Amino acid sequence: MGRKGPRTEVLGEDFIERRAKARERLDAFDPHKQPGGTEADPKRREWFETVYSLAEDDPAAVPWAHLEPRPLLEDWLARHPIAGLRALDVGCGLGDNAEALAHAGARVVAFDLVERAVQWARERFPESDVDYRAADLFDAPKEWRDAFDFVHELYTLQALPKALLPDAALALASFVAPGGTLLVISRARDADEEIGGPPWPLAKEDIEALAVDGLRLVALEDIPAKDVVGRHWRAEFRREAGA
């Protein structure tokens, strides 16, 4: 049995055990965990689809599902008002972070590549004002261009192969309206640190490379590892009004 963390207390030991088993099963299936397996599923679509379908409605089997908003987002929201803003949650999974944005008063669109994830989020929050959609970051609806005052991305970039990051950066930037903000939260690593992955924690240069298409990096926090939670980046980008 691994070290007990705060999540064990909240989710329960049974949940944590089911999660560990699901991870083993998913890792065994993931071509990116096998040498030379990347070509088989370059965008990891098949793997993401498989995560949600194998889960059979058990959130313990969705490795990133914590059934509550992530603390680094909540902490940021406590200090940055977003009420009334048009917000977009990228790779929304089961919806907890999107719900936090709505709770903070934003008008939220949240999307995920996997239809089952989107349905599941809708089922979990039937009274929600969040507009949950199935969509692909790399082929998003045209009307989302420049359409959001606040774009939030948490843990999706680190789940994508590095070769996709330049296109992901352009896609994220395209959603941000003039005067708008992009917030990115991800696991962090030093540039020369060996990483296994996936997930692939981002290096500082990966974060800086998200400042494309008129976006400027305006704040970058390097948040050290604490208890069972690893080191993170929390990065804020802005598009100048009129840019």
Ligand X SMILES: C[S@@+](CC[C@H](N)C(=O)[O-])C[C@H]1O[C@@H](n2cnc3c(N)ncnc32)[C@H](O)[C@@H]1O
The binding site for ligand X (CB under 6 A) comprises 48, 64, 70, 91-93, 97, 112-114, 117, 136-138, 154-156, 159
Least distance to ligand X, CB of residue 240, Å: 27
Least distance to ligand X, CB of residue 97, Å: 6
Are 233 and 185 contacting, i.e. CB atoms less than 8 angstroms apart? yes
Nearer to ligand X, 156 or 181 (CB): 156
Q: State the Cα torsion 90-95-96-98 to the nearest 10°.
A: 50
Least distance to ligand X, CB of residue 119, Å: 12
Beta-strand runs (E) in 72-130: 86-90, 107-112
- The set of residues, in sequence order, having a beta carbon less than 8 Å from that of 148 and lying 6+ positions away, is 85, 86, 87, 88, 109, 175, 176, 177, 180
Least distance to ligand X, CB of residue 52, Å: 7
Amino acid 213 reads D
Nearer to ligand X, 181 or 186 (CB): 186
- Which DSSP state fits 125? -
Least distance to ligand X, CB of residue 65, Å: 6
SS3 108: strand
Nearer to ligand X, 1 or 33 (CB): 33
- How far apart, in whole angstroms, are the C-alpha atoms of residue 32 and residue 197? 8
Q: State the Cα torsion 144-147-153-158 to the nearest 10°.
A: 50
Least distance to ligand X, CB of residue 144, Å: 12
Nearer to ligand X, 180 or 199 (CB): 199
Nearer to ligand X, 123 or 136 (CB): 136
Residue nearest to ligand X (CB): 91
Nearer to ligand X, 86 or 144 (CB): 144
Phi, psi at 59, each rounded to 5°: -65, -20
**Helices 45-55 and 115-124: crossing angle, nearest 10°?**
40
Nearer to ligand X, 163 or 243 (CB): 163
SS3 216: strand
Least distance to ligand X, CB of residue 152, Å: 8
